[in-house]
Amino acid sequence: MELREITKKQYEALGISERVYEFGEKIWDGLKERFDETDRIAECNQLKVINAMQESRVSEACLMGTTGYGYNDLGRDTLEKVYARVFKTEDALVRPQITCGTHALALALMSNLRPGDELISPVGKPYDTLEEVIGIRASKGSLSEYGVSYRQVDLLKDGGFDYDGIKEAINDRTKLVTIQRSKGYQTRPTLSVKRIGELISFIKGIKPDVICMVDNCYGEFMELTEPSEAGADMVVGSLIKNPGGGLAPIGGYIAGRKECVENAAYRLTSPGLGKEVGASLGILKDFYQGLFLAPTVTAAALKSAIFAANIYEALGFEVFPDSKESRHDIIQSVTFGKPEGVIAFCKGIQAAAPVDSNVVPEAWDMPGYDAPVIMAAGAFVSGSSIELSADGPIKPPYSVFFQGGLTFPHGKLGILKSLQYISDEGIAKIY
């Protein structure tokens, strides 16, 4: 009892009223079993990562970096072995020279496709930034400029795969299929590893030599297995999301079949050089330690998302995914139906940040968006979306997207703080 009183005082010092705190406690009490399952998945994945580090013989020397060309960079080469073991692939490319998730995906695509080839997305429109990589929106240096064509098969209305449409779309030129695991900022369901596996077997049944790539952003460590164990030839992601564990300050990875990874390495550096160059500078300790922490960090983000869904659903708002459904990524959306809700939510998230908590976020006309966007992030790594962050476009249906939380207590504080703002503004009433 004493512990609870002390905790309540701490929340009070951070501007959380007793009413909001008690409401949060009630919701949290109902989630213990669900959180236990999340912790068990984290436990399994933690063991998987430790095992991969031990089997790859990670040593203290691996934490050092190289400069210049980076020949014989033991730490870099060993880290790539660790990633290959974690994702159960033949090889991996894990580099600070891969600047972000979009870059990693562009690299995987551009290095494995040749003029005249065709790329297919059988799961609808890909992530916004890939539109310019592919050339769906005209852009300098796009795949389209290099003579790679693109076809898209949308998901069915019920979220299922359009198997007939996919079969029809696959042709002689089909070289690579890109499958986005996370819904990103769309409203379709995120794909489970099992569903990705079913899709890949269907595609390989029609054309066995097609390369199946999975955009794994936001999905790593959400389940016990990764899409690379369900038939994907390449899985690709960003280190400032899940696998960087909040510590990696930059970077991306491509794990997959040897030939696919080799192609990517020759494109990242140069034909003839490939994986042999690329100094790791002083960054490896953060890459290793981040991967080590990633299973529990992603579990914390997942629990924060589940907590948010349960809080806001209980208050009558539409949440996606809903409070009960199974989850395969860390993104949560809440629909407020009016701009004030989105703004108050983001102000609350910002006010809970360890960095820049005194900054008040405002909506602005960001390049590339058709409505003003408000963003909240007080992160140690700029733009990191494994850290607690939220954003939303100021347009109907006035939804906010929320993700991250390096620890559950921080995620919980963020949600309670958002609720404090929402309730102070009279947008929701807590009973």
Ligand X SMILES: *Cc1c(COP(=O)(O)O)cnc(C)c1O
Which residues make up the interface to ligand X (CB under 6 A)?
100-102, 127, 129, 180, 182, 184, 215, 217-218, 238
Instruction: Tell me how far, at minimum, the Cβ of 329 lies from ligand X, in Å.
Output: 8
Which of 292/401 has CB closer to ligand X?
A: 401
What is the SS3 assignment for 219? coil
CB of 392 to ligand X, least distance (A): 16
User: Which residue in the shown chain puts its C-beta closest to ligand X?
Assistant: 101
Instruction: Give me the least distance between CB of 181 and ligand X, in Å please.
Output: 7
Least distance from C-beta 161 to ligand X, angstroms? Answer: 18
What lies within 8 Å, CB to CB, of 200 at 6+ separation is 179, 212, 227, 230, 231, 232
Exposure of 146 in the CB half-sphere (CA atoms within 13 A): 19
Whose Cβ is closer to ligand X: residue 48's or residue 181's?
181
Question: Could you identify the residue written with the tokens 């990517």?
Answer: 264
CB of 217 vs ligand X, minimal distance in Å: 3
What b/e sequence results for 259-274 when a residue is b if at least 16 CB atoms lie within 10 Å of its CB, and e otherwise?
ebbbbbbebbbeeeeb
Contact partners, residue 253, CB within 8 Å, separation at least 6: 83, 92, 93, 94, 95, 98, 104, 236, 237, 239, 243
Question: From CA 1, how far away is CA 8, in angstroms rounded?
Answer: 11
Helices (H), 135-192: 163-169
Q: Quick one: 111 or 180, whose CB is closer to ligand X? A: 180
Smallest gap from Cβ 405 to ligand X, in A, equals 16
Q: Give the nearest distance from C-beta 287 to ligand X in angstroms.
A: 16
State how far the Cα of 384 lies from the Cα of 366, in Å rounded to an integer: 18
Residue 231's contacts (CB-CB under 8 Å, 6 or more residues apart) are 196, 197, 200, 201, 204, 212
- Compare residues 16 and 214 and give the one whose CB is closer to ligand X: 214
Nearer to ligand X, 16 or 235 (CB): 235
Choice between 235 and 344, CB closer to ligand X: 235
Q: How far is the CB of 359 from ligand X (least distance, A)?
A: 21
Instruction: State the pairing for strand pair 149-152/118-121.
Output: parallel
CB closer to ligand X out of 132 and 262: 132
Are 195 and 134 in contact, with CB atoms under 8 Å apart?
Answer: no
By beta-carbon proximity to ligand X, the closer residue of 186 and 310 is 186
In the complex with ligand X, the residue whose CB is nearer, 374 or 419, is: 374
Would you tell me how many other CB atoms lie within 10 Å of the CB of residue 10?
13
CA gap 261, 211 in Å, rounded: 12
- Beta carbons within 8 Å of 218's beta carbon, 6+ residues apart: 181, 182, 184, 241, 242, 329, 330, 331, 385, 403
**Least distance CB 320 / ligand X (angstroms):** 15
Contact 314, 27 (CB under 8 A): yes
**Distance from CA of residue 172 to its chain's centroid?**
33
